[in-house]
Amino acid sequence: MSQEDIEQKIASFTSIEQALDYFEIGYASKFIDQHRVELVKRFNGYLILEKPQDWFAARRALKNAYCKVQRNQLDKHTRSACRGCTTCQRR
């Protein structure tokens, strides 16, 4: 899949859940409902910073966005582990 194909596919999504399903990323519906706008903004920001060359690069951008939003919810004064993120690589 070329860069243009992946960009067109991402543009065709009507919800963040479609993107998460397409990129085979597990998610909690409750978390998505609460943080939808922030997740979409961060994902789009990552795509603007670095155009995805393929499916894997786009998936990595979405995983990073999901994980970043999740980690921002943790208490910054304790050493809380990232929980609930089914695809987190920072466990």
pLDDT digits (tens, 9 = 90+) for 30-86: 999 999 999 999 999 999 999 999 999 999 999 999 988 888 887 777 766 665 555
What pTM, to 2 d.p., does this model score? 0.83
Domain range list for the chain? 3-73
String of DSSP letters for 6-42 = HHHHHHH-SSHHHHHHHTT----HHHHHHHHHHHHHH
According to the model, what pLDDT value does residue 90 have? 53
Residue 2 confidence (pLDDT) above 90:
no
According to the model, what pLDDT value does residue 32 have? 93
